[in-house]
Homo-oligomer: A and B are copies of this chain.
Amino acid sequence: MSPRAGLTTTAVVDLALEIVDEGGPNDLTIAKVAERAGVAAPSLYKHVKNLGDLRRLIDLRVVQEMADALRTSATGRQGADAVAALADAYRDYLRKHPHRTAALSTDPDRGDAELSTATHAVAEVVFAVLRPYGFDHARAVHATRCLRAAVHGFAGLEASGGFGRPEDVGESFEVLKTMLIQGLENLTQKEKER
Complex Cα–Cα for A178 and B182 (A): 11
Q: Taking the nearest CB of chain B, how far is it from the CB of A120, in angstroms?
A: 9
Q: Taking the nearest CB of chain B, how far is it from the CB of A173, in angstroms?
A: 9
* B-chain residues with CB within 8 Å of residue A107 when the two chains form the complex: 160-162, 164
Complex Cα–Cα for A108 and B165 (A): 12
Q: Is the interface of A mostly helix, strand, loop or mixed?
A: helix
Which of A106, A161, A179 has most B Cβ within 10 Å? A179
Complex Cα–Cα for A93 and B156 (A): 19
Kindly identify which residue among B108, B152, B153, B175 contacts A143, using a CB–CB cutoff of 8 Å: B175
- Do A141 and B172 touch (CB < 8 A)? yes
Copies of this chain in the oligomer: 2
A133 interface contact, C-beta 8 A: no
The count of chain A contact residues (Cβ–Cβ below 8 Å) is 41
- Do B172 and A145 touch (CB < 8 A)? yes
* B-chain residues with CB within 8 Å of residue A143 when the two chains form the complex: 175
* B-chain residues with CB within 8 Å of residue A162 when the two chains form the complex: 105-107
Please list 19 pairs of residues, one from A and one from B, whose beta carbons are closer than 8 Å in the complex, sorted by A's number: A26-B26, A105-B160, A105-B162, A106-B160, A107-B160, A107-B161, A138-B171, A143-B175, A145-B163, A145-B169, A145-B176, A146-B172, A146-B176, A149-B150, A149-B157, A175-B187, A178-B186, A179-B179, A183-B183
Binding site for B on A (CB under 8 A): 26, 105-108, 119, 138-139, 141-143, 145-146, 148-154, 156-157, 160-165, 167, 169, 171-172, 175-176, 178-180, 182-183, 186-187
